[in-house]
Structure 1
Amino acid sequence: MTNLRNPALRSVADQSEAERGGPGSILSRQSRDHAELDELMRAYDRATSAQERGRLVAEVAERALRHAFAEETVLFPAYRRFLAGEDDELTRHIEGDHQAVNDALVRLQRADPASADYDAVVRATFEVIRHDAHDEEDDLLPRLQQAVSARRLRAIGAAWEAQRRTSPTRPHPRVPREPPGNVLAGIPLAVSDRVKDGVDHALPVGSTRRRLAPLVLLALAAGIVVARRRAG
């Protein structure tokens, strides 16, 4: 694929794994993650129920947020370090898109997948995610590839993957988009997100169990009060 902004750059999407620096290279890791995200978004198009669409959006959200956080804490700082003489408009633009996706996911996080405006917000969010993937594979990653060795690309890839695995899994509107603020904020948020993920797994949003949970907790609390009064 020809890069219209810089014809000398060859898109990562058109390169073999060996050309990218191997499976552990940041180019290969990013490309695989983009492909898996795209498949989840295509699965949303094929979904036949609101519950399935909600599940797929939650999965896209978790993967996209981890992907973006790892970019902002590992990939973009590496890009700025090794291409220090270049205009940094590209990473700033992608960070702005990340914020837009984050804000949309905040709206979707507790929204009912059966609501009238849910699908429109989801599709607009998916469009931004796909746009970012093209910016990265057609422009940012090829530029980095020209500036560093394959060994360095693999080192960046390993650091990116380690960060991706421990990143927050939920949207947080006030988290800084650049180090060191995002790194410091990300540690406690990642822990709290996993606790909330466990609750959502047991009680999916929009499910009967989720709707009944407050009533169950209220009944349990009332039972405890009655038991204490009797004991007293």
Structure 2
Amino acid sequence: MSRTIEDQTVEELGGEGSVLVRQRRDHAQMDRLMDRHQALEDGAERERVLRELVQLVFSHAFAEETVLWPAVRRAAADGEELTSRVEEEHQEINDLVTDVERLDPGSAEREEKVLRVFALIRQDIRDEEDLVLPRLQEALDAGRLRRLGAAWETVRGSAPTRPHPVVPRRPPGNAVLGVPLSLYDRLRDGLEPGVSGPWGRRILAGLTGLLVSGAVAVLVRKRS
């Protein structure tokens, strides 16, 4: 029976650079941010913590879908079933966070959706650490886990940091669209809250439209 990665040592998981160690470290940070958010009263710091969590969750998930889940599907006989389950969780988180970003801070509806997002993130962490990642550990030696970790870190460092309904959950579509959307997200992350007005939002919306249109054209050419 596969053993969860939750309570294994760094050495058992393949060493400091292993993708399993990197994944678990991100998961622990997500838990800390969710706890921090819930401990704070409404205000700017609570919103800052939520933004930090969202940025971490979406860059982390993008790196999983681009680098890790294809490796799981190649390595495990049940990899398709396992990764499809996690991808469904990611999509539900994506949709809920999109709703959260449209609602006013402090509203009851927004708070309810935030709590649902947190519950899904925690369920996703358990599914990954208890079910999916142990299958990868069974199939790959420590050296390959560290090489996969380096690739995961590279993708994570340049991944989108916001929800985007247009992004597919699997390569090559996510990789092609991820590049322009990552640029857009990081511009938005760096400029907020200064781009909170209507003109700022229109400029950013126009920019992302141009970037995504170009990426879609590239994707269509690749498929044809």
TM (norm. structure 1) is 0.82
1:86-109 alpha-carbon deviations (Å, 9 max, x no partner): 352110010001000001111112
Q: Which runs of 5+ in 2 are unaligned?
A: 200-224
Give the Cα–Cα distance (whole angstroms) in 1 for the partners of residues 146 and 194 of structure 2: 37
Give the Cα–Cα distance (whole angstroms) in 2 for the partners of residues 32 and 142 of structure 1: 16
Taking the TM superposition and a 5 Å limit, the aligned residue runs for 1:120-135 are 120-135=112-127
SS in 1 for 2:25: helix
Give the Cα–Cα distance (whole angstroms) in 2 for the partners of residues 89 and 130 of structure 1: 20
Give the Cα–Cα distance (whole angstroms) in 2 for the partners of residues 60 and 17 of structure 1: 24
TM (norm. structure 2) is 0.85
How many pairs does the alignment contain? Answer: 200
Q: Which has the larger radius of gyration?
A: 1
Q: Which runs of 5+ in 1 are unaligned?
A: 1-7, 204-209, 216-232
Asked whether the equivalents of residues 73 and 79 of structure 2 are also in contact (C-alpha less than 8 Å), the reply is no
Give the Cα–Cα distance (whole angstroms) in 2 for the partners of residues 52 and 165 of structure 1: 24
| Correspondent of 2:160 among 141, 165, 168 | 168
> How far has the Cα of 1:14 moved from its partner?
1.2
| Correspondent of 1:12 among 5, 19, 24 | 5
Give the Cα–Cα distance (whole angstroms) in 2 for the partners of residues 96 and 167 of structure 1: 19
Match of 1:137 in 2: 129
Taking the TM superposition and a 5 Å limit, the aligned residue runs for 1:22-171 are 22-83=15-76, 85-86=77-78, 88-171=80-163
Match of 2:189 in 1: 197
Asked whether the equivalents of residues 13 and 142 of structure 2 are also in contact (C-alpha less than 8 Å), the reply is yes
Give the Cα–Cα distance (whole angstroms) in 1 for the partners of residues 47 and 79 of structure 2: 39
* Amino acid of the structure 2 residue aligned with 1:121: K
RMSD over aligned CA atoms reads 1.7
Give the Cα–Cα distance (whole angstroms) in 1 for the partners of residues 187 and 98 of structure 2: 17
CA shift in 2, pair 1:110/1:200, >3 Å = farther
Taking the TM superposition and a 5 Å limit, the aligned residue runs for 1:201-216 are 201-202=193-194, 210=196, 213=197
> How far has the Cα of 1:134 moved from its partner?
0.5
Give the Cα–Cα distance (whole angstroms) in 2 for the partners of residues 118 and 54 of structure 1: 12
* Identity %, equivalent residues: 47
